[in-house]
Amino acid sequence: MNRVYWMEAKTELLKMARLKQYSIATVAFPLMFYCFFGLLMGSSYTQGSISLSRYALATYGAFGVMGAALYAFGAGVAVERGMGWLEVKRASPMPPAAYFVAKVVVALTFGALVVTLLFALGAIFGGVRMPLGQWLLMWSALVAGAIPFGAIGLAIGSFAGPNSAPGIVNMIYLPMGFLGGLWLPIELLPKVLQHLAPWLPSYHFGQIALAILHAPTQGSVWMHVEALAGFGLLFAGVAWIGQSHDREKVYG
Amino acid sequence: MLVAELRGVTKRYGLVEALRGIDLSIAPGELLALLGPNGAGKTTAVRILLGLAAPTSGEATVFGHHPASRAARLRRGAVLQVARVPETLKVREHIELFSCYYPKPLPIAETIAAAGLGGIENRLFGDLSGGQKQRVLFALAICGNPDLLFLDEPTVGLDVESRRALWARIRGFVARGGSVLLTTHYLDEADALAQRVAVIDRGRIAAEGTPAEIKAQTRTSGLEDAFLAIMKENGQAPEEVLQ
């Protein structure tokens, strides 16, 4: 049985790694943004007491992990569900959980890849120095963020059509990144948008990573952890409804 | 013991009655062809036997089990009408993954040979021709060494040569003792492969028997004429049927 999970995850990873619109886009965009905003513009600028190259490591790390999870689940599940492939799998003896576990593995792996590459850029070209424990804590917190955002992606993928899903994910991903303060420090956004931010999971994710850096944050870190976990559970519930709507055709 | 059975099955989607009381059974080693015009209910019957849809009333069993049960899924394979298959996996990777779902799969090399995929097993699915893609789906259906195959219009869009080659593979599966439920609207396909034919029209079985019996019933020489005669009896204009 474990072999099935292992094979499913391995195959899913191969599939997504070869899918260039996923693998290149999820890895390249956050790195590119970090080079512009974190390294080129950020060497002299400071946000609060810390350099932008350090600050942006947290926010673009969050942005990258968010993308890896949203696209793997949102676009991936919608396409396979809408084009009949999920039915071929469901008619086979595949344990249903294996399909979702494999997608989690993909989101975590690509999230980890983006974060690791960003850290390397920050350490080598941005002169970012931290104690090892802090690096590890930030790495783990960022990568773990793939789980709540995977749930959000799955909720989208369970309802969106196969052709519209990639567009819907774009429409959610990019504005959510910007409005959550992951592109530019949240303090630089207009006040109106700052009031909107607590309604976005991206904002809480960014604040958690910033807190680990000891960057100035808004509110306590545990409040942000709770909020992000809440969003994750909420959307996991929505996804569950969508998936059981599919299953109802079977048992209903 | 029957391999698969539908007893008094109806299926309603909202206001549409896709199946209106169907009895159907497949015996061991038998190839049953389900014939009918588009929208007659063929695919719905297959989906119910695959556990992908639940009957509104009536009962469906596969090897005596619920069609969605693991026991049923382990003993069957299916070629479904699927619009898109992951394209960035190699043929061999697709087969290896599906083989690991089953406790006693065929050896990978045997599946590759039985589906006629020798020489292209390391190609990406997206780089294959239509006929080759269909053979991969056939490979995924047989790789678990199932006792029952569901083939839902498996030769749609294939050229004559690929169709005939797939027929040979289906015959090979039956010759080894497997049972098959084949849906098709190619009458020559049913004539060439099936031991028994069930003609389905607007959710009901309109005729059932061996291809010869059906031709005799309708006093026609070919299954195509017999099919048209049955449809006409049911009050459908031939142009409508032939569409």
Nearest-neighbour CA in chain B from A134: distance (Å): 38
Kindly state whether B51 is in contact with chain A, defined as any CB-CB distance less than 8 angstroms.
yes
Q: For chain B, list residues with pLDDT below 50.
A: 243
Chain A residues near residue B151 by CB distance under 8 angstroms = none
Starting at the earlier edge strand, list the strands of the sheet with B16-26: B16-26, B4-13, B57-62
> Which residues, in sequence order, are CB contacts of B144 under 8 Å at separation 6+?
A92, A93, B74, B77, B98, B99, B101, B102, B104, B105, B106
pLDDT computed for residue A248 by the predictor: 53
Residue in A178, A176, A157, A164 with CA at minimum distance from that of residue A71: A157
B89 at interface of A, judged by CB pairs closer than 8 A: yes
Rounded Cα distance, B134 and B115, in Å: 9
Residue extents of the structural domains in chain B? 1-75+183-243
The distance from CA A200 to its chain's CA centroid, rounded to whole angstroms, is 13
Q: What is the CA radius of gyration of chain B?
A: 18
Can you tell me the distance from the alpha carbon of B191 to that of B184, in angstroms, rounded to the nearest whole number?
Answer: 11
pLDDT for B170-217, tens place per residue? 999 999 999 999 998 888 889 899 999 999 988 999 999 998 888 787
- The answer to whether the CB atoms of A92 and B82 lie below 8 A apart is no
CATH 3.40.50.300 is right for the domain spanning B1-75+183-243: yes
Q: Which residues in chain B touch residue A87, judged by CB atoms under 8 angstroms apart?
A: 52, 80, 82
Residues B169 and B154: their CA atoms lie apart, in Å, by: 12
**Mean pLDDT per segment of 10 residues, for chain A of length 252 residues?**
92 95 91 90 71 91 96 91 92 93 96 97 93 97 97 94 91 94 90 93 96 88 95 94 70 36
Q: What is the pTM of this model?
A: 0.90
Please answer yes or no on whether B100 and A7 come within 8 Å at the CB atom: yes
CB contact under 8 Å between A249 and B50, yes or no, is no
Helix (H, G, I), strand (E, B) or coil at B57: strand
Q: Which residue of B has its CA nearest to A82?
A: B83
List, for residues A112-153, the tens digit of each pLDDT value.
Answer: 999 999 999 999 999 899 999 999 999 999 999 999 999 999
Q: Does A245 touch chain B (CB under 8 A)?
A: no
Q: Identify all chain A residues contacting B54, using CB atoms and an 8 Å cutoff.
A: 249-252
Task: Check B84 against A79: CB less than 8 A apart.
Answer: yes
Q: Which residues of B touch A15 (CB under 8 A)?
A: 86, 88-89
Residue B82 to residue A11, Cβ atoms within 8 A: no
pLDDT at residue A250, rounded to an integer: 43
pLDDT of residue B98: 97
pLDDT in the model for residue A252 = 32
Query: Cβ distance A8 to A102 under 8 Å?
Result: yes
